[in-house]
Amino acid sequence: MKHTPKFLAYAIVGIGALLMLAPFYFMFVFATQSRTDIFNVPPPLWFNGELLANVKLLTTRLPFWRNVGWSLYVGLMSTALTLLFCSMAGYAFAMLEFRFKKALFALVMGTLMVPSFMNMIPSFMVMDALGWIDTHRALYLPGAASAFGIFLMRQFAASTVPRELLSAARIDGASELGIYWRIALPLMKPALGTLGLITFISSWNNFMNPLIVLRSADNYTLPLALRSLFSTTSTEWGALMAGSAIATLPLLVLFVISSRQLIAGLTAGAVK
């Protein structure tokens, strides 16, 4: 009987995991079904042979692989710029002393309290004034220095980068940029990996910002392209599920590969 609470906890976690995985399973199953088979009662529970037909229909309706390429490009650019700017700002807030440091950091943290929908109209007006409507730079440049990223890098740097090591480097004549690039940045790799993973997944799944700034189907990112398949009369659900499965598969593989890195980066420095 003493093992009953542990067994019950495992059972609850297992049931919860199955409930969360069920939509993914049915998405992959429906990706291999024809449009009519999807609406059978009871619904199909196993894979069929219509995957290639659905993918062909998908590429006929959309410049699908071009949309995949744009999503990949925007995700990589967002990730690279976010890692660069957030690590620099986090290092500065954690390790350097300058005027108004606390006030500036409080201002950065205050932006986390602003609902994202309040930025939509001002953001569109700025993108329009810059001539960036229907361009991909409007998707990765404005959010390159996120408040969450700066906070994460600042907390990690403050708890893991030894100040004595930085002082020794300054005595040896190293510049602040050199200290950041050669000493602090390598020590911040766990947090960089975590922030990079979060940023890439967020960019890959981003729907609202592309909806606001992108106009032509050739420039659509993947979520917006898949949304354009919806129709009030004849939605090709098999093709839509195939596209969703293709869009989801890279994220699942990425998460499985880097899940330990994600957990390590989020928990490192939490206990000293």
CA–CA distance, 134 with 168 (Å, rounded to integer): 49
pLDDT above 70: residue 89: yes
Q: What is residue 182's DSSP assignment? A: I
Joined tokens for residue 215: 């106009």
Instruction: With H, G, I as helix, E, B as strand and everything else as coil, classify residue 240.
Output: helix
Q: pLDDT tens for residues 40-54?
A: 878 888 888 888 888
> Domain extents for the chain?
62-220
pLDDT above 50: residue 267: yes
pLDDT above 60: residue 270: no
Q: pLDDT tens for residues 178-236?
A: 888 998 988 888 889 889 988 999 999 999 889 999 988 889 999 998 888 887 567 77
Q: Given this model, what pLDDT does residue 230 score?
A: 80
pLDDT above 90: residue 93: yes
Q: pLDDT tens for residues 161-184?
A: 888 888 888 888 888 888 889 989
Q: pLDDT tens for residues 106-151?
A: 999 888 888 878 888 888 899 999 999 999 999 999 888 889 999 9
Q: pLDDT tens for residues 61-70?
A: 888 899 999 9
Residues 6+ apart with CB under 8 A from 245: 27, 28, 31
Joined tokens for residue 43: 């619904």
pLDDT above 50: residue 272: no
Q: pLDDT tens for residues 240-260?
A: 888 888 888 888 888 777 766
Q: How far is residue 207 from each of residues 40, 52, 72, measured CA to CA in Å?
A: 30, 26, 14
Instruction: With H, G, I as helix, E, B as strand and everything else as coil, classify residue 174.
Output: coil
Q: Which of these CATH numbers, 3.40.50.10490, 3.40.50.620, 3.10.620.30, 1.10.3720.10, describes 62-220?
A: 1.10.3720.10
Q: Given this model, what pLDDT does residue 142 score?
A: 87
Under the banding of pLDDT at 50, 70 and 90, the label for residue 17 is confident
Q: What is the mean pLDDT of the chain?
A: 86
Instruction: Assess contact for 138 and 221: CB atoms under 8 A.
Output: no
Under the banding of pLDDT at 50, 70 and 90, the label for residue 83 is very high
Query: Global pTM?
Result: 0.85
Amino acid at 43: P
Helix (H) or strand (E) holding 205: helix 189-205
Under the banding of pLDDT at 50, 70 and 90, the label for residue 86 is very high
Q: Given this model, what pLDDT does residue 271 score?
A: 46
CA–CA distance, 51 with 31 (Å, rounded to integer): 6
pLDDT (mean) for 29-46: 83
